């Protein structure tokens, strides 16, 4: 068990700074892992491996968020919004929510640390759409199997300046069969 006594010695601001720093470290590791896979196996294989990892990780993350924050399974769109705000990368990326109607909202990643870094370096957007489809679809499904996920835009898609990617979540009347999550 980790040393919780040590963590209790820090003030709230230090703990917040540590959480943000750990989110940055996690993202750096994710990026370095991907670059190594790309060097060894090529971009297509690296994206396939990344998709497989995200399919599993995103479900683990959703379940842990739900457990820690008492989010009931099947909690609908409100539960999904709350869980999206509590994801690790929410500490380091800017995101927003836009209600479309009572059964649908759009989630936008307004500033993505990965894409912003690439932009500063003069590089094209990282083509994360195929990985994002796994990530967001399985995250939403884990929160509530009635939620259908649709990509609005995600690199390599063109996107407006105000966001890098956008996802639409719709609450269906019945659970979506697991084999239809990605359709």
Per-residue pLDDT of the chain (183 residues; tens, 9 = 90+): 677 899 899 999 999 999 999 999 999 999 999 999 999 999 999 999 999 999 999 999 999 999 999 999 999 999 999 999 999 999 999 999 999 999 999 999 999 999 999 899 998 999 999 999 999 999 999 999 999 999 999 999 999 999 999 999 999 999 999 899 987
For residues 83 and 148, the answer to whether their CB atoms sit within 8 Å is no
Relative orientation angle of helices 76-85 and 43-68, to the nearest 10 degrees: 110
CA dihedral 115, 28, 36, 167 (to 10 degrees): -40
Residue ranges of domains in the chain, CATH in brackets: 12-180 (3.30.1380)
For residues 148 and 172, the answer to whether their CB atoms sit within 8 Å is yes
* φ/ψ (deg, to 5) at 173: -70, -35
pTM value? 0.93
For residues 92 and 27, the answer to whether their CB atoms sit within 8 Å is yes
């Amino acid at each position: 068990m980790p040393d919780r006594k040590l963590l209790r010695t820090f003030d709230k601001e230090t703990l917040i700074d540590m959480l943000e720093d750990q989110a940055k470290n996690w993202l750096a590791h994710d990026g370095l892992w991907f670059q190594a896979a790309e060097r060894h196996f090529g971009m297509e294989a690296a994206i396939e491996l990344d998709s497989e990892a995200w399919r599993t990780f995103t479900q683990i993350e959703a379940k842990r968020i739900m457990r820690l924050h008492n989010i009931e399974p099947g909690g609908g769109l409100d539960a999904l919004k709350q869980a999206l705000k509590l994801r690790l990368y929410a500490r380091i990326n800017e995101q927003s929510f836009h209600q479309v109607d009572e059964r649908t909202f759009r989630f936008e990643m307004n500033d993505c640390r990965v894409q912003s870094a690439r932009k500063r370096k003069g590089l094209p957007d990282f083509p994360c759409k195929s990985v994002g489809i796994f990530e967001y679809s399985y995250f939403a499904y884990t929160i509530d199997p009635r939620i259908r996920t649709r990509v609005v835009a995600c690199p390599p898609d063109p996107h407006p300046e105000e966001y890098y990617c956008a996802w639409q979540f719709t609450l269906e009347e019945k659970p979506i069969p697991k084999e239809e999550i990605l359709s």
